Amino acid sequence: MIRFEDVTLTYPGETAPVLANVDLAIPEGELVLVVGRTGSGKSTLLKAINGLVPHFTGGTMAGRVLVDGRDTRDFPPRELADVVGVVPQDPMSGFVTDVVEDELAYGMECLGLPPDVMRRRVEETLDLLGLTDLRHRALRTLSGGQRQRVAIGAVLTAHPKVLVLDEPTSALDPGAAEEVLAALQRLVHDLGVTVVMAEHRLERVVQYADLVVIVPGDGQPVVAGSPAEVMRSAPIAPPVVELGRLAGWHPLPLSVRDARRAAGPLRDLLVGHTPHLRAVRSSARVRAEIDDLMVRYASAVALHSVTAEVADGEIVALMGRNGAGKSTLLNAMVGLSPKVSGRVLVDGHDPRELNGPALLRSVGLVPQEPGDLLEATTVADECRAADRDATCDPGTTRALLALMAPDIEDGTHPRDLSEGQRLLLALCVILAARPPLLLLDEPTRGLDYPTKARLATVLGDLADAGHAIVLATHDVELVAAVADRVIILAEGEVVADGTTSHVVTSSPMFAPQVSKILAPEPWLTVEQVAAAVAASTGESGPPRHRAAEGEAAG
């Protein structure tokens, strides 16, 4: 269905190719998972499938890409629309109408299909994706998972043979992500659609993939194979695979179910051990207070009777379904939400009454759309401006960025960065002022595992230095790694507030993979298990290294 034949792509102004000598064959009717480091070229590979690269991006392409026999060099995206459907990272950015049913029909109107055909396909798509009850709903009122399914439906009505998706679950809660993945599986298994998706959250999708394509970046060759083959030596892997490597399981499990079947001996080995947790000072100063807070947008109540405190040195995770009120609560803590009643205090002050510099020195928010914070035309200029605004030493922001994302170059325009790289730049802009209260909204969206691990280290160091941190996230693995406490919101109300191990292990939706595998014991991360195994066996190094050496020797 899709063939890359010795494809090399170099963007304008760049000397090194973003993709080099790619040879890849993708059969019809398979679910293909494209993975790689942040900024490695995954999105470029996806854009090459429908001709956006190089027709709209520019640059030089050697070799060719064939889609259903069509050479993308000869067919621009509009002439591939009947074969390739593309769903962007942010569904709302691609919507052109206001109502679900109209959005499903719009693409067919552009193709000039007869009204009777359009009507039939709209009904078929509504049924296929479980959207029948939403047909008359305004798009702006839908949840994240519902919007993603509508975006998929909007391209499916054209009956493409290939569906391309870029990070389709990155902004979704675990339940909504499962809805979208179930819909994609139905397209592959029942209709024979070829689905190609880039996704960083491998723990959600790797067990469903037929083929995994690793894009390593830096001009290195692309690697493709079955999930079981690729995960044996992949530099990035979900926790279930990392745990399998640690325990020496063969074959490596790709799902929680398979891992639980193999986990008996590991559970026995962990008896008598407890997970190591970061120490939090119980006498720490309360940095933020929320008391009986209500926030209303027009007639809709976004937050209702929310009461919580955040202390210095504490990392608190806000979790809940899309639309539960997490972002609204963060905005209220920085003075951006229209407070109706109740009280919000940061360091004893209402954040709405603080001016720019005073607010920046008290609380910093990295929003869900990090581009909102970026105004300069180069990364270097953005870092210099952040140093001036924060009144910190020149080079402070750039040094933070070098730690978080060493591959980002000074002369790059922020809009040319990947979504994950833009987020890291925005985070460094805020961190330059070292606000005692740091708020992060979906901080791992678009981040690969190694970059997320660096972020977790930075957050832990900040908390150890006394900063209070609140992060709103759907990333259960990040929460397991860094959070001391979890607050779960539902329909604007607090439904759970407690230690991370207590809250997430009792929640089927928000539990991390290690917790599900080793339940009912409160293990949350592979690192916790590795430390306990090392203590139990008396080995100085992680067992997964020894297993890897054994495989190499064999």
Q: What is the pLDDT of residues 442-458, one digit of tens each?
A: 888 878 888 888 889 88
Q: What is the mean pLDDT of the chain?
A: 89
Confidence of residue 58 (pLDDT cuts 50, 70, 90): confident
- For residue 79, the one-letter residue type is E
> Stretch 77-98: mean pLDDT, rounded?
88
Taking CA atoms, 43 is separated from 7, 57, 252, in Å, by 15, 12, 28
Euclidean distance between CA atoms 429 and 367, whole angstroms: 12
> Stretch 540-547: mean pLDDT, rounded?
39
* 108's tokens: 């067919």
Task: Give me the pLDDT at residue 332, please.
Answer: 94
> Stretch 158-163: mean pLDDT, rounded?
92
> Stretch 361-371: mean pLDDT, rounded?
87
> Stretch 34-58: mean pLDDT, rounded?
89
Judged by DSSP in three states, 526 sits in helix
Euclidean distance between CA atoms 123 and 121, whole angstroms: 5
Task: Give me the pLDDT at residue 390, please.
Answer: 86
Task: Give me the pLDDT at residue 545, please.
Answer: 36
Euclidean distance between CA atoms 464 and 436, whole angstroms: 12
Strand order in the sheet with 468-472: 363-366, 437-441, 468-472, 315-319, 485-490, 493-499
Judged by DSSP in three states, 459 sits in helix
Chain centroid to CA 544: 26
Instruction: Say if residue 28's pLDDT is above 90.
Output: yes
DSSP 344-364: EEETTB-GGG--HHHHHHHEE
Q: Around Cβ 393, how many Cβ atoms within 10 Å?
A: 10
Read off the pLDDT of residues 286-306 as tens digits, 9 standing for 90 and up: 999 999 999 988 778 899 999
User: DSSP secondary-structure letter at 252?
Assistant: P
Euclidean distance between CA atoms 109 and 125, whole angstroms: 15
Cross-strand pairs, 300: 297
Instruction: Say if residue 543's pLDDT is above 70.
Output: no
The structural domains of the chain, ordered by start, are 2-235 (3.40.50.300), 237-275+523-554 (no CATH), 286-511 (3.40.50.300)
Task: Report phi then psi at 241, rounded to 5.
Answer: -75, -40
Task: Give me the pLDDT at residue 553, please.
Answer: 35
Task: Give me the pLDDT at residue 257, please.
Answer: 95
- 217 or 492, higher pLDDT: 492
Instruction: Say if residue 540's pLDDT is above 70.
Output: no
Confidence of residue 234 (pLDDT cuts 50, 70, 90): confident
Task: Give me the pLDDT at residue 100, please.
Answer: 95
Among 134-148, 427-441, 502-516, the range scoring the smallest mean pLDDT is 134-148
Euclidean distance between CA atoms 208 and 33, whole angstroms: 9
Q: CB within 8 A of 510, min separation 6: which ones?
A: 174, 319, 476, 479, 486, 488, 503, 504
Instruction: Say if residue 126's pLDDT is above 50.
Output: yes
Instruction: Say if residue 554's pLDDT is above 50.
Output: no
Task: Give me the pLDDT at residue 135, please.
Answer: 94
Euclidean distance between CA atoms 158 and 108, whole angstroms: 6
Among 79-83, 255-259, 282-286, 550-554, the range scoring the smallest mean pLDDT is 550-554
- For residue 445, the one-letter residue type is R
* 220's tokens: 């290195």
Read off the pLDDT of residues 184-212 as tens digits, 9 standing for 90 and up: 999 899 989 999 999 989 999 999 999 99
Task: Give me the pLDDT at residue 526, please.
Answer: 95
- 51 or 370, higher pLDDT: 51
Q: CB within 8 A of 93, min separation 6: which ones?
A: none
Q: Which helix (H) or strand (E) holds 290?
A: strand 286-297
* Total number of residues shown for the chain: 554
Task: Give me the pLDDT at residue 137, please.
Answer: 92
Euclidean distance between CA atoms 360 and 387, whole angstroms: 12
Task: Give me the pLDDT at residue 548, please.
Answer: 36
Task: Give me the pLDDT at residue 450, please.
Answer: 85
Task: Give me the pLDDT at residue 539, please.
Answer: 57
Q: CB within 8 A of 127, min separation 6: which ones?
A: none
Q: Which helix (H) or strand (E) holds 429?
A: helix 419-431
* 231's tokens: 């995960």
Euclidean distance between CA atoms 54 and 386, whole angstroms: 34
Q: CB within 8 A of 354, min separation 6: which ones?
A: 335, 346, 362
Q: Whose CA is closest to 26, among 211, 198, 186, 167?
A: 211
* 436's tokens: 């005692």
Q: Whose CA is closest to 333, among 348, 352, 314, 318?
A: 352
Secondary structure E strands in 491-536: 493-499
> Stretch 485-504: mean pLDDT, rounded?
95
* 266's tokens: 């590991």
Per DSSP, helices labelled H in 129-233 are 144-156, 174-191, 202-205, 227-233
Instruction: Say if residue 541's pLDDT is above 50.
Output: no
Euclidean distance between CA atoms 110 and 7, whole angstroms: 31
Judged by DSSP in three states, 128 sits in helix
Euclidean distance between CA atoms 416 and 87, whole angstroms: 20
- CA-based diameter of the chain, in Å? 72
Instruction: Say if residue 319's pLDDT is above 70.
Output: yes
Instruction: Say if residue 246's pLDDT is above 80.
Output: yes
